[in-house]
Amino acid sequence: MLKAEIDEAKRLVTTDTVQITIGEIASMYASDELDIIPEFQRLFRWSIEKKSSFIESILIGIPVPPAFAYENADGTWELIDGLQRISTILEFMGLLRDLDNPGSFRQSTLMETKYLKSLRDARWSPFDLDATNVLDKSLQLFFRRARIDFQVLKHPSDPRTKFDLFQRLNRGGAYANEQEVRSCSMVLADREFTKEIKNFADSDIFRKVFKITPEQSINQKNVEYAVRLIVHTFRDFTSGTDVQEFLDKSIISIMTEENQAAVMETIRWTVETLSRAAGDGVLVPPADAPEEIANRFSLRALEAIASGLARNREAVSRLPDQDAFVRERISGFWQQESVLQMSASGLRGTTRIQRTVLFGESWFKPDA
């Protein structure tokens, strides 16, 4: 059984290991044969110390880890792991595109390192006529001829492998949170649909209903809440699954398998109905809620109230006064014993989700 599963999985993936020079990497990037999607590039966050240390490794011949890429049908590559390293190389050479200034390129200036003190203020090319520590021609040639290993998922590997590998390689890193990595996978799956989801998560009505702060927006918490709302509306949680893995896989399957217009119509209707029926504080417990329930927005409210309502959209929409129904349901929600149990201290997310979503779906069912 296990061997058969392994054999089947192997048929879905074709890989190749290639060594290419830094000069070739630079040429591929400049000619759009190596793509770093902007959402992924924005996670380039190495400090100047880390960048300098990595450049030092290349110059003195210390082996560096391989990068990973996915080969598209047209032969171009999409970078799916190795962002910090490849971006450091391109930035040092003055080739990394500046996302905030189209048509411009970023170039770094290094600092002294453990073995190469003279890397202090070193740069690839002069910024001005007074530049004094420009890498000389022989070192530039040595650098360009240094080789980097690439593991390449060859076409026609199953496209789903690209998303899975991207998540496995980038989750839990020091430079990006779960949603930032998930957003990159979403762009790889469908750039335009991801943009539509993000635009709605950035809207005033969404920010008010989900109590999004400016700092949370920077960390893509609003996008995470939009993803959670979509996933809990269109997918049932599988017991024993890691929550983040469930969100990762479910949002991609929804993006690629569901009617996208219907998905957006449902979440827009849900947020607009909540706002219209109960105002900006709709997902925050009222003052008369049991004292065990903290007076702040929580995932419990998103899963039970927002997703519960979304799952009953068709039935609630047929009511003569849907706003009054929603208002009444929300008012009574916080007094339920089941809701108090959802708020228990130390309750695991996996356990909570199995309670909140199903309870919410039942609670907002008009004929219940």
Under DSSP, the state recorded for 117 is G
Which of left, alpha, beta for 16 (phi over 0: left; psi -120 to 50: alpha)? beta
Using the structure block, give the residue that is written with the tokens 């360009």.
144
Q: How far is CA 62 from CA 109, 146, 167, 233, 362, in A?
A: 21, 11, 27, 50, 60
Residue by residue, what is the 3-state secondary structure of 160-224? HHHHHHHHHHHCCCCCCCHHHHHHHHHHHHCHHHHHHHHHHHCCHHHHHHCCCCHHHHHCCHHHH
Query: CA 42 to CA 47: how far, in whole Å?
Result: 14
The pLDDT value recorded for residue 121 is 93
> How far, in Å, CA of 233 to CA of 271, rounded?
13
DSSP string spanning 234-254? H-PPPTT--HHHHHHHHHHHH
Give average pLDDT by consecutive 10-residue segment, the chain, 368 residues. Answer: 70 83 98 94 94 97 93 92 96 96 94 95 76 87 96 78 80 81 92 96 96 94 98 94 93 96 98 93 83 82 97 97 95 87 79 94 90
The residue extents of the domains of the chain are 2-160, 177-363
* Nearest by Cα to 302 from 351, 360, 366: 360
Residue range 296-349, pLDDT digits in tens = 889 999 999 999 999 999 999 999 999 999 999 999 998 888 888 887 777 888
CA-nearest of 67, 25, 47 to 113 is 47
pLDDT in tens, 173-193: 767 899 999 999 999 899 999
3-state secondary structure of 147: strand
Q: How many other C-beta atoms are found inside a 10 Å radius of the C-beta of residue 183?
A: 25
pLDDT at 341: 82
Q: Which residues are paired to 353 by β-bridges?
A: none
How many Å apart are CA 252 and CA 217, to the nearest integer?
22
Long-range contacts formed by 92-98: CB under 8 A, 24+ apart: 92/51, 92/55, 92/123, 92/124, 93/22, 93/26, 93/124, 94/124, 94/125, 95/26, 95/29, 95/30, 96/41, 96/44, 97/41
Under a CB-based contact definition with an 8 Å cutoff, are residues 50 and 85 in contact?
no
**Cβ proximity of 68 and 162 under 8 Å:** no
